[in-house]
Each structure stands twice: as C-alpha cells, then as structure tokens.
Structure 1
Amino acid sequence: MVGSDIPPGELAGLRAFAVRVGCYAGHRYPERPQWVELEGTRVEVASVDSEWREEDRLGYLVTLRDGRRLLLYYVPNEDLWSGVVQP
C-alpha cells in the first residue's frame, strides 16, 4: 500500500460487515480468497488485486466475478472475516 497505509474504504468511513469467505489454503490459511457469500449467494473472486499484513489482521482487495470490489479482512486470533464494499 502506498501513502497512509489505510485502505481507501476505511478512509471513506465505510462500514465493515461479517462475511463468509472460502479460501485456498496451501502452506498457510488463508492463502487466497476464492469466494464470498453475500446476501445468501456465493460469489466467486475473479482476482486478488492486493494483499497485505497488519499487526492483527490480513487484508485483501478483491474483485468479484460480478464486478464488485471488496476489502476483505481476516483476524487469525478470532478466526473472523469482515468485508467493506468499495464504492
């Protein structure tokens, strides 16, 4: 990340929500998000555009197959995923 190291969705004050995420797990979990469940529907991740590690969570900027973009966060100590829809 460049600049402030705060993802754009958080700078804009967008709210995070709990989300179910399916991941590829090779030598570590989570290695790469493969799908998210939104409003009861599973949507495939078309691309992982960026990923980073923060002190207590992992972050992924993804583009979904339907064109929506999400910031996904995983907190390993809580085994918890959250998402922020990008405008």
Structure 2
Amino acid sequence: MKVRVVCYEGYCAGETPRSFTMGERPLEVTSVLDRWRGEDHEYVKLDASDGNRYVLRYDRNADEWEIVLMQAPGRPPTRKDARKGS
C-alpha cells in the first residue's frame, strides 16, 4: 500500500519519517525502532499514533514510500503486497 510520508530532513532528503497518511488517515510516528538499507530501498520500522507497528519501504529510484508490514498489538504481523494492490 503506497503512503504519503513527511520526513525530518537533516543532511539528506527523506531521512526520518515523522508522519504518514494511509488513505485519508494521518498518523504520527511515535518512535523509530530500526532502519536498514536494501539494494534499491530504505526500510524503517516504527510505531505510530494508532498503536500499530509498521515497516515502511522507500524506493529511492521511484521516490515513493509504501507499507510492507503492519502489526497490531498482540497480533501477528500482516504483510502488504504492493504488487497485488493490497
């Protein structure tokens, strides 16, 4: 699922997500738990103001963010497959 992300931009663009919008629903990032780089993507694991945990992926070539994993408290993670439009 593609999302709009607002980032703190320090020494590089898109450095740290501060909030994101899922559909029409704005969510604040309450904590960044982890981040790592892939070959073409940046990943950020975070907690959001809705109480859920997310992994967001940033495609550096397309300049787009998407949710690749969402986990509600006490539930197993749910993967979002962007190729299937979920």
Q: Same fold, TM exceeding 0.5?
A: yes
CA RMSD of the aligned region, Å?
Answer: 1.0
Contact preservation (8 Å) 2:3, 2:23? no
The alpha carbon displacement at 1:39 in A equals 2.9
Which residue is 1:54 aligned to?
38
After TM superposition, the runs of 4+ consecutive aligned structure 1 residues lying more than 4 A away are none
**Where in structure 2 are the equivalents of 1:37-76 lying within 5 Å?**
37-76=21-60
The alpha carbon displacement at 1:32 in A equals 0.5
Q: Which amino acid aligns with 2:24?
A: G
Corresponding residue to 1:27 among 11, 19, 35: 11
More strand by share: 2
Aligned residue-pair number? 71
The answer to which structure, 1 or 2, has the higher relative contact order (CA under 8 A, 6+ apart) is 1
Task: Report percent identity of matched pairs.
Answer: 38
TM-score by length of 2: 0.77
Q: Which amino acid aligns with 2:7?
A: C
